[in-house]
Amino acid sequence: MLSKLLALVALLVGVVQAQPIQLTLDLTDAPRKILRARLIIPVQPGPLTLVYPQWIPGEHGPTGPVDNLAGIKFSANGRDIPWRRDDVNMFALHLDIPPGVTSIEARADFLATAAPSGFSAGASTGPNLAVVSWNEVALYPAGTPAGEVRFEPSLQLPEGWKFGTALAEVARAGNAVHFQPVSLETLVDSPVAAGRFFKEIPIAPEISPKHFLDIVADGPEDLEISPAEIEQYGKLVREAGALYRSRHYETYHFLLTLSDSVAHFGLEHHQSSDDRVEARAFLDDDLKLLNADLLPHEFTHSWNGKYRRPAGLATANYQQPMKGELLWVYEGLTQYAGDVLAARSGLRTAGQYKEALAASAAELDHRPGRTWRDLQDTATAAQVLYGTSGEWDNWRRSTDYYEEGELIWLDVDTTIRKLSKGKKSLNDFCGTFLGLGGNTPPRVVTYTFADVVAGLEAIQPYDWKAFLTERLTSKSPHAPLGGIANGGYRLEYTGSQNDYTRATETHDHGVNAWYSLGFHTSDQTVQDVLFDSPAFRAGLGPGMKLVAINGRHANDELLRSAIRDAKANSAPIELIAENAGFFRVMKLDYHGGEKYPHLVRDSANRDYLDDILKPMVAR
């Protein structure tokens, strides 16, 4: 009898949980930065705590934009239900559900008023588009696993707007679109890019599951993408399949937003990626070069980060804190694979790959913060490092596990190739470790440091634990450049511009004098100063504005020519800088000329870098 009663209770609870939360999001006011949400939440009488997602997957921190949730109201049967925010947890709302009530209505507006910086909580709307991250408007019962609470989402679109998403559409009435019910986990993992100027392009159509490039843009002219560029993304899909020997999605949508109104970044998901770049990203060669690794990077995350995930980042729901300790795998290996895939698919030439690698390797090799903070600490502290200003980052060290992780994985790749005499490579590790189990629908298979070591040892016997630990805990003033040396190259500095740095300078309206005077500017304002450089010793600091160079009104070309001219004489370069209304004259005693990093071929080693960049799929 008792067991039967328990079974009945379980059945009833099951019935309650089987009812999804209905979430209707109205985008009609998105052009003026208001997203209106209405939720119907199944409840039981008594105390109820609803929570708003705090720890956002892929952002590796407590970045849920709860400050932008406004107009929160709850009601049932036509009567308001009072709510009270938790005194300590700003993401929790307490309610008392009256007797007899089985569902409540919640109304909330998301004010999309953030600046065009940061990640998904940054600006996400424009006059003709909106990118929806469902975590911005989701409330769910506290203590519920995200994989178990169900949502039934729908969207109300402005007239004439179209959209792309990995969610499955089940019905449409006018501008109202209804999607298949999904878990909260899938919902938060499935953003929507919607807008008036929209194009969906099937890519690599011969491959199943199917892939789409969904482009939404500020204006119709920004949608122009050439057949050759579409083909490069087709190659990306084929090359990723060859590298990872599997796919872990039912369909994949690259949600590409081309807009000057939104924050620029990429955010990974199992079955899509939220990729946001400048409106002219396909029309400007510098922007093409700078953004070429974005889609390969975020696509790689479907395998590394979403399917295979560090145990500390695989949390039960969005209130549970994440541990970033293995981000040098999650982001570092992805940075490496993303850049390699960009070259293999033709999005970057081999020459451009090398220039970009030289630029990031040089930067890491000029980062005095590495003498107090090891790479491991940058990963462990990830949750507080994404929001830093960039000023004095060379002393602070920020999210270095991306670029330095890339150097370490290049080191791993070239070491495997050397030890195995070219028979094995990191391609094999990616295929077995990230492709584990062949094709699957989206799911999570966690890993630990020991799993990474074991995975590498299965490809090539070696003391990988010591190899990785040494690089993760090093306080050496120099970056791990072993992969570049093993790959057959040397990092050298010459007076001729680095292609990647030059594109960055154009993009930032600035000058990169990091390896000469020791600072870089944007609109003549100093962005950062390298510790112990000539500029540092003269007293220059971030935020100061260059007013004059050698007695003349400052401009970018004058700064470059002053550096070149100082090579031929012994007089210091004189700067006048303004620091919040106060002026200061500084003399920089530097005569080494312009310096830019490049990779130079070193015939002492085989050119493994060229082998690495070759496509795996025959053309």
Cβ distance to Zn ion smaller for residue 136 or 331 = 331
Minimal distance in Å, beta carbon 59 to Zn ion?
A: 10
> Rounded CA gap, 76 and 104, in Å?
5
What secondary structure does DSSP assign to 302-345, as a single string? TTBTTTEEEGGG--SSTTSPP--TTHHHHTHHHHHHHHHHHHHT
> Rounded CA gap, 4 and 399, in Å?
55
Cβ distance to Zn ion smaller for residue 288 or 301 = 301
User: Within 289-348, which residues bind Zn ion (CB under 5 A)?
Assistant: 331
Residue 343, φ and ψ in degrees, nearest 5: -75, -45
Cβ distance to Zn ion smaller for residue 273 or 376 = 273
Cβ distance to Zn ion smaller for residue 361 or 382 = 382
Cβ distance to Zn ion smaller for residue 278 or 331 = 331
Which single residue is written with the structure tokens 């996400």?
A: 124
Minimal distance in Å, beta carbon 266 to Zn ion?
A: 7
Minimal distance in Å, beta carbon 248 to Zn ion?
A: 16
Half-sphere exposure of 115 (CA within 13 A, CB side): 2
Query: Does residue 86 contact residue 92 with C-beta atoms inside 8 Å?
Result: yes
Minimal distance in Å, beta carbon 63 to Zn ion?
A: 14
Cβ distance to Zn ion smaller for residue 405 or 435 = 405
Nearest C-alpha neighbor of 286 from the set 608, 29, 506:
506
Cβ distance to Zn ion smaller for residue 64 or 296 = 296
Q: Residues binding Zn ion: what is the number (CB under 5 A)?
A: 1
User: Within 409-438, which residues bind Zn ion (CB under 5 A)?
Assistant: none
Query: Does residue 92 contact residue 50 with C-beta atoms inside 8 Å?
Result: yes
Cα dihedral sign for 404, 406, 411, 416? positive
> Rounded CA gap, 185 and 317, in Å?
8
Minimal distance in Å, beta carbon 301 to Zn ion?
A: 6
Residue nearest to Zn ion (CB): 331
> Rounded CA gap, 168 and 440, in Å?
18
> Rounded CA gap, 444 and 310, in Å?
10
How far the first Cα of the chain sits from its last, in Å, is 69
Nearest C-alpha neighbor of 188 from the set 263, 120, 251:
120
Cβ distance to Zn ion smaller for residue 336 or 608 = 336
Cβ distance to Zn ion smaller for residue 363 or 406 = 406
> Rounded CA gap, 591 and 100, in Å?
82
Minimal distance in Å, beta carbon 385 to Zn ion?
A: 14
Minimal distance in Å, beta carbon 334 to Zn ion?
A: 5
Minimal distance in Å, beta carbon 338 to Zn ion?
A: 8
Query: Does residue 140 contact residue 319 with C-beta atoms inside 8 Å?
Result: no
Query: Does residue 300 contact residue 117 with C-beta atoms inside 8 Å?
Result: no
Cβ distance to Zn ion smaller for residue 190 or 399 = 399
Nearest C-alpha neighbor of 613 from the set 417, 356, 230, 339:
339
> Rounded CA gap, 608 and 417, in Å?
8
Give the x/- contact pattern for Zn ion in 106-135, rule: CB under 5 A: ------------------------------
Which single residue is written with the structure tokens 């006048």?
A: 576
548, amino acid identity: A
Minimal distance in Å, beta carbon 279 to Zn ion?
A: 23
Minimal distance in Å, beta carbon 234 to Zn ion?
A: 22
Residues of the shown chain interacting with Zn ion in the complex, contacts defined by CB under 5 A? 331
